[in-house]
Amino acid sequence: MKGSRVPDIMVYERARFDAYCAEHPDWLDKPFILVPDLCIEVVSRNDQYSEVNEKVEAYLADGVRLVWVFDPQTRTVTIRTQGSATATILHADDTLDGGTVVSGFSVRVGDVFAGKV
90, 96, 97, 101: CA torsion to nearest 10: 70
Encode pLDDT of 49-93 as tens digits: 899 999 999 999 999 999 999 999 999 999 999 999 999 999 999
Contact 41, 69 (CB under 8 A): yes
CATH number at residue 105: 3.90.1570.10
Residue 1 lies inside a defined structural domain of this protein: no
Number of domains in the chain: 1
3-state secondary structure of 74: coil
What pLDDT score does 8 carry?
A: 94
Task: Report whether 52 contacts 8 (CB < 8 A).
Answer: no
pLDDT exceeds 60 at position 23: yes
Q: Tell me the pLDDT of the chain averaged across its residues.
A: 92
Residue 4's pLDDT band (cuts 50, 70, 90): low
Cα(61)–Cα(63) distance, integer angstroms:
5
Report whether pLDDT(1) > 70. no
Domain extent, residue 30, equals 9-114
